Amino acid sequence: MPDTSQAKSSASMADAGSREIDRDDSLPRYPHPHVYQLLLTKRYLSSKIMPLLAALAVALCTAMVIVVWSVMGGFLVMLINSGRTLSGDVSISWPITGFAYYEDLIKRLEADPEVAAAAPVIETYGLIGLPDGRTETVSIKGIDGPSFSRVTDFEKTLYWRPIDKPNEKDTTRQDLRLGKHDLWKQLLEGGKRLVRTEISKTDRRTVERPAVVPGISVSGFNFREPWGFYPGLPMIRTTEGEKKPVDMFMLPVDGTVTLNVLPMDSKGRAIEMVARTFPVANEFHSGLYEIDHRTVFVQLNALQEMLKMDRAAKIDTSGGSIKLSQNPDDERFLPRKVISEDPARVTSVLVRSKRDSFDMADADRLAKRVATIYEQFAAAHEGKVPDPTSIRILTWVDQNRTMITAVKKETGLVLFIFCFVSLTAVFLVLAIFWAMVSEKTRDIGVLRAVGASRSGVAGLWLLYGLAIGIAGSAAGFALAYVVVTNINAIHEWIGQHLDLYIWDPRVYYFTRIPSDLDPFHVLVVLCGGLLASCLGALWPAARAARMNPVQALRFE
């Protein structure tokens, strides 16, 4: 039988020895503490599968957050750019009745070095009568095509135009716009100036009629195909939910619509509903459903006439009419005296900056500059234009703040959820490191026996966790980069082989999944991956540092 007294004596000597090692600074220390940490970290990383699993967990979580942030960020950027496409950078607005002398205001704005161009616009609401008898409420904008295109990307939004390359999903080249067909050129030129060229039935001369350019979804005849384009010929949806072509007209070729607007006098009182039929010159596609579904552009002069906002003469009627002849069959009257002339009015002037790169801070700065110019303009036309304190001067962000804020909140919510899910990486690293500390107990005991301090042992495991974080974050970034830069090809492959289209072009108004791999966002996520690894390694590192070297050496 073993000698129990001798065993107790050995144990007590061991305990005494361990306490002595803990407190005796005269014991030999490891000559280069950082060297053994680096060597062991390298050895642990390359010799076991468990650290690779920890790095894989960090990599997957890092890649997931970067991909989600890039796609949501890309969608937000696309949304903002689409909203800015037809609204310019800054707008000066006086709704309903409008303001006069806008030509002078545009001249003053374009003389400023910060302003590239300015354009007049009338914005109102009305009704549109469609060829199939439906009547819809729409936002009607009167514009001068060429000047409006200098301020916005209006020309780029015109949908019916000749194209050379098919959509990447249009492998069978079904898009009617392919090829330099004369019809598409004619529609494009007509859309730019909002006119339709027709042959007069009386003398066969070529005439241009004022026309409208509605959004691609206003008519309800355009259904987006799975390839991401519109077929051209009008379609209707049957009661069974299927699409059926309507062989009666093509809206931009021979279709007409009727606009109904309600003009107001200078005091905002309704006068009488005015209706006018216009041919359709083209259709536009901004990418925002609300704009494409509810907006119609029409020639500025035509809308000014309909809303009684065009230039008009004031006639002196105090003296009554003077008949030039006593003959009852002669209805000629003496022309009344023209007192003055009312200038034409518009409800908005849109402004575009000269800066190619334009962010929210630049927009606010330009808005202040525009406000200063308007003050000078109002002083020159005192009492005849709205006061500078009452006029609305808004940036494109202000005009779309509700929509932009909603998308930002959704982006923040999605990121929060995915970041919360990514916290699993912390617990995975903790569990793996805890198991490894248990497995390496004897190694820890040896390190402590040869002089490694508690902080040195803890630093070893924290350095190990940092190395796992660096390897995992780098792998995660590489994976995310491959996914983000090939996300459309991946999405297409999933659709073809699994019949799963997450972003169906028939539903979403973009054919390619947007993405924005922002370097700052990537840096934040990578730092988060490193932090998660270090947090996961913190508790096991503290456990390793607290180990008694003698007990650790006796561990089996």
Encoded tokens for 507: 């539903």
Q: Which is nearest to 350 in space by CA: 370, 333, 336?
A: 370
**Residue 17, pLDDT score:** 43
Evaluate if residue 79 carries a pLDDT over 50. yes
For residue 53, which of 317, 496, 436 has the smallest C-alpha distance? 436
Positive/negative CA dihedral, 263, 268, 271, 273: positive
H/E stretch holding 381: none
Checking if the pLDDT of 337 tops 50, the result is yes
What's the average model confidence in pLDDT over 285-294?
Answer: 81
Query: Who wins on pLDDT, 302 or 37?
Result: 302
Going by pLDDT thresholds of 50, 70 and 90, the confidence category of residue 101 is very high
Residues 361, 371: Cα–Cα separation, whole Å: 16
* Position with higher pLDDT, 84 vs 539: 539
Window from 97-106, 196-205, 312-321 with minimum mean pLDDT: 312-321
pLDDT reported for residue 14: 43
* The pLDDT value given to residue 332: 61
Nearest to 245 by CA among 227, 226, 224, 222: 222
- Helices in 86-206 by DSSP H: which ranges? 102-110, 145-151, 154-157, 182-193
Model confidence at 28: pLDDT above 50: no
Could you give phi then psi for residue 395, rounded to 5 degrees?
Answer: -85, 170
Does residue 378 or residue 3 have the better pLDDT? 378
508 pLDDT band, cuts 50/70/90, is: low
User: In the predicted model, what is the mean pLDDT of residues 501-528?
Assistant: 77
Residue 550, pLDDT > 90, answer no
Q: Are the C-beta atoms of residues 350 and 119 closer than 8 Å to each other?
A: yes
pLDDT of residue 325: 60
| pTM given for the model | 0.69
CA dihedral of 161, 162, 166, 167, whole degrees rounded to 10: -10
H helices of 113-160, in order, are: 145-151, 154-157
Predicted pLDDT of residue 23:
44
Task: Give the per-residue pLDDT at 13.
Answer: 42
Question: DSSP state, 411?
Answer: H
- Tell me: pLDDT of 265 over 80: no
State which amino acid sits at residue 151: V
